[in-house]
Structure formats: structure tokens, C-alpha cells
Amino acid sequence: MKALKQVFGGKLQQYTMALALIALVVVFNVISGGRMLTSSNFQNLISGNAYVLILAIGMVMVIVIGQIDLSVGSVAGFVGMSVAISIAQYGFPWWAGLLLGLVLGVLVGMWHGFWLAKMGIPGFITTLAGMMIFRGLVIWISHSISVPVPAQFSYLGAGYLPEWGPAWTGLNNSTLLLGLLALAWFAYSEVNRRRHAKARGSEIPLWVTGTRVVLIAAVIGYVTWLFGSGRPGTSFPIPGLILVVLVIVYHTITQRTRFGRHIYAVGGNRAAAALSGVNTQRTYFLVMTNMSFLAAVAGILFIGRSTAAGPSDGTMWELDAIAAVFIGGAAVSGGIGTVVGSMVGGLVMAVLNSGLMLMGVGADQTQVIKGLVLLAAVAFDVHNKNQGKPSIIGTLMRNVGKKPDVAEVPAGTPEAQHLAGTPEVPGEGPAADNKATIPS
């Protein structure tokens, strides 16, 4: 047990939802006779859900500031349709259409941000209006007719990385390269971790580092093999690559920049944030603008995958994104939620969907099961909060990458006790804290 903790950083119990995801994949794989864990199924899983996951990245930021964006589906549909029409009917080159779509997304977001931040209209209302406005515009500009998009978009929305280099690897070499890069990065950060720990005077046992590296290498290796060993011509999908880049960028923004801190501060206690020098209006504005920008990206990927923009694109996407964010541990009241957590939440939904489809379960029952999972995940989170423990899923992902490793702390320190689950040291009582001689 102690060994496990040292390897996983002592917060094993916080990885509940990630473990649930793995368990889900494994169970479905067994039930479906090995159809779950195949190259093509995972390629499908990623390309087929990239748009929801990208929306969830923006949505978690919106939910963290204590707002909600109901318009993302309509905005994605609107941008997709605008891009398709600009190319098909106005002769834009494909890249200009793409650019137009991204600019439109930003403009739409600024529109929402203006009403929320400057006019003080609640986000629910602002984006409910946006949902109607942009759905109406999609139908208006398209006359309810689907519009095909050029092949370059298919590459973005459903394409694969190129094949090159020697065939003896038995894998798609682009995927292999990505896997190696990831591996190198993890190894580097492990070594770095050791060095910093040493600088602070606490030694990480070599076997801990070794086990971690081996474990991470096994996981990355397996994933690389899974995606790379598919039919020739397939690889880690392009939309997946776009997603990974966005996750890294947004994880960094939310966890490692001042703007990111401001998002959590505004969501946690708006008044306190304002009195700490956070420009709350600007934060609201930027988060809403960013949400619609990401909705535009999602819409563009989707029309690529669909090879055409349709009048009903984006219907109900907002709800899928919101569900992913809440399964990923965000709090309805704001202030809590992470990009990585939301990705896990979105993948749980995606794997459920895929697994149930592989089992031949109908759409009706799938909906019921997804609804129950959403409820169970949030109830679990709420239950844990009521127990006074930190929100498992919430803190889990938020702390990823910034928590000090338990191995850096010698056993027996308060830190170690805390991590071992001993209750918080109660606050000072009059006696406990009374160092001075005070008559009373």
C-alpha cells in the first residue's frame, strides 16, 4: 500500500474517475469480445468525440467562473455553415474559410462576453438568446440545405498522420514519433522532479522513479501501439492531435498563468477576487470569448468529419459538453473544475456510448444509462464534499502537475500524515494557540 502510494503520488483515491474510465474500457472490452480495445475503435472514439471534448475545454472554464454557455452547439453549427457557404458559394479558398470561421467564433464570443461582462446579463440568459439567434441564423443562411466542404476539412476532422520511414516498426511512424516525444517529456520531468527534490534535501528512492518511468512508458507504449498499429494509412487521428494540443495549451493556461488563476478566483468568490485586484469583467469577457472560439473549432472539425455542414449541426452539443464537465468534477456553483478532469468526464461518456453501441444497446437505453452515470458521478462528488473531504475529482485534476510528490516528504511529517488521510489538524483552540500569558 505504501509502495503504491509512493509511486502514484499518494493521492490514489483521488483518481477515482480516471480509474472508473479504465475499468469501463476493460469491462466493455471483455463483454464485447475484444472489440473495444482495437485501433480502429479508439481512432473512432477520438475522431467521433473530439468536438465534444473541445467544447468541454471551453465549457469547464465557463462553469468555473460560475456561468453556463447554452449557445455552443448553435455557434458551432453557425460557424460550420458559414465556413461551408463561404467556400461553396463565395469561392473562398479553404484556408480563408477556416480563418473566417475562427474569426466568427471570436466575434460571437465577444458578443456574449459583452452582454455578460459589460451589461451584467446572466450568462444563462445571454447564451440562451445566443442559442436561438445562431440556430436561427444557421437555418436562415443555409435554407435548411446541407453544404459540402472541401477535402482539406476532412483531413482536419477525420484524417490521419502521414506514413513515412521504415516499415519494420510495424507501426505508423508518425504515431510512434508522438509516443516517443511524450515518453521523453515524461522521463525528463521525472528526472527533473528528482533533481528538485534533491535540491530541497529529500531524496526520492530510485525504485520509485524507476517504477514510475516504467509504468508511464508502458501506458504510453500501449497507447502508441493501439493507435499506431491500425490498418495502413491510419494513425493517431488528426482531430485527436488537435485535441491534445488544445488540452496541453488550456491546461497550462488554467493552471499556470495569471489569467487561469483569475478564472478560479472569480468563480470561487467574485467579491474577494475583485478586492484582490482581479479585473472580473475582463475575466468574464475573455472566458466567454474563448468558449465561442472553441465552439468554432469544434464546428469546423465536425463539418470536416461529416464532409458537409448541415442545418441541424450542433443540436444539443452544449448538453454533452456540460455533462462532461460535471462528470469531470466541476461544481455547479463555480470555482472548481479542471480541463483534464473534463476530458476524463467526456471520455467516460464517449466510452459508454461506444461500448453500449458495440454491445448493440439501442439509443434509447444508452440515453438512460448516460443519464444515470451523470447523476451518480455528481452525487458521488457531492457526497464526498459533504463528508468534509475535498472533492475527489475536483482536486484530483486541479492538482495534477503542481502537487508536491509525497515521496519528497519524509514519512512522519504532517504532510505525510495529511496524505495518509488523517483528519485535518483542528484549528487552534484558545488553549492550543495561547502561547502568550494571557489572563482570562
Partner 1 sequence: MTAGQLLLDMRHITKVFPGVKALDDVTMSVRRADIHAICGENGAGKSTLMKVLSGVYPHGTYEGEILLEGEEMRFNGIKSSEEHGVVIIHQELALIPELSITENIFLGSEVMRGGLIDWEAARRQAVDLLARVGLDISPDTQVKTLGVGQQQLVEIAKALSKNVRVLILDEPTSALNEDDSAHLLDLMRGLKARGITCLMISHKLNEIAAVADAVTVIRDGRTVETYDVVAGQVDEDRIIRAMVGRSLENRYPHRTPKIGEILAEVRGWNVEHPSVPGRLVVKDANFTVARGEVVGFAGLMGAGRTELARSIFGHSYGTYRSGELLIGGRPVHANTVQKAIAAGIAYVTEDRKNLGLNLIDDIKATVVSANLNGIVRRFLLQPRLEAEVAERYRRELRIKSSSVDVGVATLSGGNQQKVVLSKWMYSSPELLILDEPTRGIDVGAKYEIYKLIHQLADEGKGVIVISSELPELLGICDRIYTICEGRITGDLPVSEADQETLMRRMTTTSTAPAAPALSA
Partner 2 sequence: MKLKRTAAVVAALLISSLSLTACGGGRGGDASPAGDGTTPAAGEATTAGSEGGFPADATIGVALPWLGTQNWKEAETMFEAQLTEAGFTPLIQSADQKVPQQQQQIEALIEQGAKVIVVGPVDGTQLGSVLTKAHDAGVAVIGYDRLIENTDAVDAVVQFGSVRTGELQGESLLEGLEATGPGPYNIELFGGGPADPNAPNFFKGAMSVLQPKIDDGTLVVVSGQTDFTQVATQDWDNAKAQSRMDSLLSGSYSDKEIHGVLSPNDGIARAILTSVKQAGQSRIPVVDGLDAENESIVSIAKGEQYSTVAKPTDALVAKTVELITALQSGAGLPAADTQENNGTKDVDIYQLDPVVVTKANAAEVFANDADRMKLFEDNLA
Binding site for partner 1 (CB under 8 A): 196, 252, 255-258, 260-261, 264-265, 268-269, 271-279, 335-336, 390, 399, 401-404, 414-415, 417-418, 424-440
Q: At what angle do helices 39-64 and 72-88 cross, to 10 degrees?
A: 120
Residues 360-379 that bind partner 2 (CB under 8 A): 360, 362-363, 367
Q: Print burial letters for 362-400: b (CB count within 10 Å at least 16), e (below 16).
A: eeeebeeebeebbeebbebbeebeeeeeebbbbbbbbbb
Binding mask 295-334 for partner 2 (x = CB under 8 A): -------x-xxxxx-xxxx-xx------------------
Residue nearer to partner 2 on the CB measure, 91 or 360:
360
Give min distance, CB of 56 to partner 1, in A.
Answer: 20
What letter would DSSP give residue 117?
Answer: I
- Whole-number Cα distances in Å, 289 to 55, 102, 105, 191, 440: 13, 11, 8, 38, 57
x/- mask, partner 2, residues 236-255, rule CB under 8 A, reads --------------------
Dist CA 28 CA 24 (whole Å): 6
Residue 258 binding: pick among partner 1, partner 2, none (C-beta 5-8 Å cut-off by kind): partner 1
Chain CA centroid to CA 233, Å: 28
CB atoms within 10 A of CB 440: 4
Residues in binding contact with partner 2, number by CB under 8 A: 62
Amino acid at the residue 190? E
Output the nine-digit C-alpha cell for 118. 459589460
Closest CB to partner 1 among residues 83, 400: 400
The Cα–Cα gap between 59 and 339 comes to: 9
> Which does residue 48 touch among partner 2, partner 1, none (CB within 5 to 8 A, set by kind)?
partner 2
Task: Annotate each residue in 127-166 with x if it binds partner 2 (CB under 8 A) or - if it does not, as one string.
Answer: ----------------xxxxxx-----x--xx--------
State which amino acid sits at residue 270: R
Residue 269: name its binding partner from partner 1, partner 2, none (Cβ under 5 to 8 Å by kind). Answer: partner 1
Phi-psi region of 191 (alpha: psi -120 to 50; beta: other; left: phi over 0): alpha
Contact 135, 74 (CB under 8 A): yes
Is the separation of the CB atoms in 242 and 301 below 8 Å?
yes
Task: Tell me the CB-side half-sphere exposure of residue 34, using CA atoms within 13 A.
Answer: 1
Q: Specify whether the CB–CB gap between 346 and 328 falls below 8 A.
A: yes
Exactly one of 37, 106, 137, 183 binds partner 2 (CB under 8 A); that residue is 37
Query: Which residue's entry shows cell 461500448?
Result: 355
- Our CB check for partner 2 shows the closer of 284 and 317 to be 317
Binding-site string for partner 2 from residue 215 to residue 234, where x marks contact by CB under 8 A and - marks none:
-------x--x---xxxxx-
In whole angstroms, the minimum distance from the beta carbon of 20 to partner 1 comes to 24
> Which residues contact partner 2 by CB under 8 A?
1, 4, 12-13, 19, 22-23, 25-27, 29-30, 33-41, 44, 48, 51, 143-148, 154, 157-158, 170-171, 222, 225, 229-233, 302, 304-308, 310-313, 315-316, 353-354, 357-358, 360, 362-363, 367
